[in-house]
Structure 1
Amino acid sequence: MEIKQLSFAADRPPLSVLAAAKVAAVLLPTPTIVTDSSSPPTIIFSNGMKLQGTYVLLRYIGRVAGLPNFYGKDAFQSSQIDEWLEYSSILSSGSEFENACTYIDSYLEKRTFLVGYYLSIADMAIWSGLAATGQRWESLRKSQKYPSLVVNRDMSEKGKVGSKTSEVDLPDAEIGKVYLRFAPEPSGFLHIGHAKAALLNQYFAQDYFDKLMEKADELIRQGKAYVDDTPREQMQKERMDGIESKCRNNSVEESLKLWKEMIKGSERGLQCCLRGKLDMQDPNKSLRDPVYYRCNPVPHHRIGSKYNVYPTYDFACPYVDAIEGISHALRSSEYHDRNAQYHRIQEDLGCRKVDGWDDPRFPTVQGIVRRGLKVEALVQFILEQEAKFRFISFVYLPHLQIHKKYEGAGEKATTYTKRIWIDYDDANSISENEEVTLMDWGNAIVKEIVKDESGKVTQLIGVLHLDGSVKTTKLKLTWLPEIAELVNILLVEFDYLITKKKLEEGENFLDVLNPGTKRETAALGDSNMRNLKRGEILQLERKGYFRCDVPFIRPSKPIVLFAIPDGRQATSSK
């Protein structure tokens, strides 16, 4: 029987059916889109018979496909596939999505396919369930949290029946601009390949030692690293359990003092190591304050006793790779979980490369759109320019999507609690017995200001005065309720890449590079921000306009908001 018609609702396309048909070369007619979202996907055959339902259609494709074992090689495998089809629906449940990803990732750790040794409609169903979550799945792919799942699903996305290729996919690679390095830790008996690696990597043992130590010193002074004397076994257990070291919050002065002891190789220094201050709660354990330096007073076979401290592989590679212009570090599979650590260390060292041509600091179309400029506004701007050469400049005029005065944004739920959060700068500017306005709530009178031993404000105690007049108060405060549903956000501001508007003829742009083009501020956000989508623009009251670059994924990962310039703010580096 020939398939004459395929129909489905516009907001519920049967991705698994379409993908399976594509992979299995089953010809489907151009679909008919229906407006009724409750209508199930339907196939009508040339004899008038029809089938309905995503999994019914998927099983039909599996049975008629010419691919081997696409619906299992026997009754048992077919039943296994049926189990996966039923399970795939859990991926559409937001609360269970990550648990499902964890289970599937673990299941695929030693398997290529979900059932047997062949691609089946079970793989198509799971892939489609993941793809249907959109940005959430894209974010998880990039996070490398589920490596087995990502590799398996990427294979399903890119693979074509009968295709054979020996090409290796290098992310962001440009032909003629790929620079690789040999690993510096040859294992087993030395052979010619190891000798080549050793010759090429002489710098690893000498050229960059002093620079690496300078960088380590800088990180300590910036509060991005600390010296720890926790015994090694205890440190390993604390990292596994996400427990912060007792040394983590030591003063910079204390860490510098112990760092000097490490450099001297003293008895005290031998008890210590230098650790990066990253994130002890990150699910990726490689980011839980890794060790950067250890003491080793044993004379080196090439440079003798010049150094008593040596960088770890994890710390040295990101810096040396950046300095050497390495574009891709090809490492064995046990290092996949360390990719996030690798890039984070580069970022802390200040040597991370620009993201790409869509970097929001670049004057490319992709860059300025990511910064918050609407394509429609760009087109209008170009059309309004006179048809002649002239110097032009413009500011971003955001098209509001989420703003309390914009009816199209809908309504949000507001929670009122006895304890609230306010901005620290606001807390510092309030006097006792002063009446202030809590925006969108009413007035309150501050009765008491609590400070710690250093004079830092830690708490304000007051009472509501909702009958008070908003017109009589000097301070209008934004606030958040003290609830567990608040989200972590990262506010990102950008500055110009160079420190002057125009380069003179013959002037080297490297001489006018702006050393501080990006500033990040950690903050708390309203629980309603969990619903933000990538690309949406919103106004944060008293802060400005922002574009959502990374939406909510999970509580431990912040929502990333890019500040949209309007021509009035001072540059962020000043």
Structure 2
Amino acid sequence: MTTTNTVISSNFIQNIINEDLKNNKNNSRVHTRFPPEPNGYLHIGHAKSICLNFGIANEYKGQCNLRFDDTNPSREETEYVESIQEDVKWLGFDWDDRMFYASDYFEQIYDYAVQLVKNGKAYVCDLTAQQMREYRGTLTEPGTESPYRNRSVEENLELFEGMKNGQFADGSRVLRAKIDMSSPNVNLRDPILYRIMRAEHHRTGNTWCIYPMYDYAHPISDALEGITHSICTLEFEDHRPLYDWLINALDMENRPQQIEFARLNVTNMVMSKRKLRLLVEEGLVDGWDDPRMPTISGLRRRGYTPEAIRDFCERIGIAKSNSTVDIAMLEHCIREDLNTKALRAMAVLRPLKVVIENYPEGQVEQLEIENNPEQPETGTRTIPFSREIYIEQEDFMENPIKKFFRLAPGQEVRLKSAYFIKCEQVIKDEQTGEIIELRCTYDPETKSGSGTSTRKVKGTLHWVSATHAVKAEVRLYDYLLLEGEQEVQEGEKDSKDDINPNSMEKLTSCMIEPSLANATPEKRYQFLRNGYFCLDVKDSTPELPVFNRVVGLRDSWSKSQKS
């Protein structure tokens, strides 16, 4: 079923399953499903559900289906179906031959609705949406029965068939379950089962002009597929009585059990597909796969690995009550993964030119440097060193503050895997006074690894040879939501009000070591002292490679755990 060995920590869901297996419930089968609605791209919250459903099935040697709940054609697209499949596979899971759609069962779902009508458990209602809200009552007051609730079975069958055949206008009639308008659970106050909607479906075209509601189609789909444990997020807990009512009212042969767990909330992240769609449609981000987005495709483009996301989902665990996870924990997981995987490289993001005046003109040395000190088996590479190099602007200070151990007039530093250099002269633009170049000297006796010098300096700088450097664009990302902001709940202000206007910084004149000209999107790189990066395959060109910063080097979450 899956090639990924995901370990699921013991949790209350597993305790339920263990008890079911002990009692030989469902013939000791475990069959789960991941049921996304194809109305947008999946985000990190869906990754938690994917890992849970596929991971549990794998743990118990069961099966997990991928099923698209495509019951609302007005918002669904084939693009979303394809992106969901790609995301699930990228995370390391496989549904084998068990990919289904709710639309596969439209005929059966309709027939079950007819059965409910015949059994006096459903009726056609003509109330408007506003009237239905008024009749529904409140959390403290019971609802009022619809004046159409007691239509005869014959009239309901005729009207429902007319709805199916397109005889009525959109929104003019609905099919409702006949349950209990005085129930303390408002979900049982004659919920809608079918509505009229003339919208082209991405699979069935214009075959249907009525579509089942999710709460109606979902338990039927689960039962038809033989699902044993229907795992969903906590907001569906109040819908479970309706789920069970439908399974019983239709006398389904298979009787899946709905179990709810807490959805994933992460600080500084938008975790609603509706709000994410708003960001995309209003051009506040560059599409669903914008590296600032919490979508799986956005995280993938930014450089996150499936291993890091699965590790994050494992660490946060499965809970019954809602809580919010610090985004620093997700960043810790990717740092920990990339620390051992990422190849080291030198890249100067804000270049300042340095001329080493006593280094022979025209001479080029090939210096050896390790690819990853955490993984010696990755070997070494050579990088060119010449008379003119670039260093970071922030690594020089004309009037240094106390304990500034980088380059300053008369101050000596080591160049990574190269030599000691000392700043002798500062060259400035005559018009603006801006520093444009440093003149330095080097000590040939201090070559790294030569063992010819015992002198020491406190500062070590990364650099690139000006003659051999490759120009690149580097994108530095901050949180999409302003620091300290958490996602607003449905019905409150839109998250766009809290969007960080400085969530991306483009540096277009970066200089990178020549080996990075052959960078591939599958690899991750640690740009020394700057963080972890990956090639942006979407925007890179042969003339100008583009790199996204996955995450910086500082690990606030790990430090907070130790304190």
Superposed pair shares fold, TM > 0.5: no
The interval holding the TM-score normalised by the smaller chain is 0.3 to 0.5
Task: Give the structure with the larger helix fraction.
Answer: 1
Higher relative contact order (CA 8 A, sep 6+): 2
Structure label with greater radius of gyration: 2
Q: Which structure's residues are more often strand, by fraction?
A: 2
TM-score, structure 2 length as denominator?
A: 0.36
